[in-house]
Amino acid sequence: MRHGWIGFFLIFFVSCGLKEGQPEKTLGLPNFLLSDFQYVSVNTSGEREWELRASEAAMYQNSDDVFIYNFTVAFYRRSNGMDVLDSVLSANKGQVNKKTLLVIAEGRVKILASETSLETERIQWDNTKKLFFSEPGIPVVVHRRGVDLRGYNLVADASLKEIRMENIDAKIQQ
Distances (CA, A) of 51 to 20, 47, 54, 122: 28, 11, 10, 19
DSSP for 9-60, written as a single string:
HHHHHHHHHHHHH-GGGGG-S-SEEEEEEEEEEE-TTS-EEEEEEEEEEEE-
CATH class of 29-172: mainly beta
- Name the residue ranges covered by the structural domains of the chain: 29-172
Q: What is the dihedral of CA 152, 54, 61, 47, to 10 degrees?
A: 80
What is the pTM (predicted TM-score) of this model?
0.80
Tens-digit pLDDT string for the chain (174 aa): 444 444 433 333 333 332 334 466 677 788 889 999 999 999 888 889 999 999 999 999 889 999 999 999 999 998 888 889 999 999 999 999 999 999 999 999 999 999 999 999 999 999 999 999 999 999 999 999 889 999 999 999 999 999 999 988 877 766
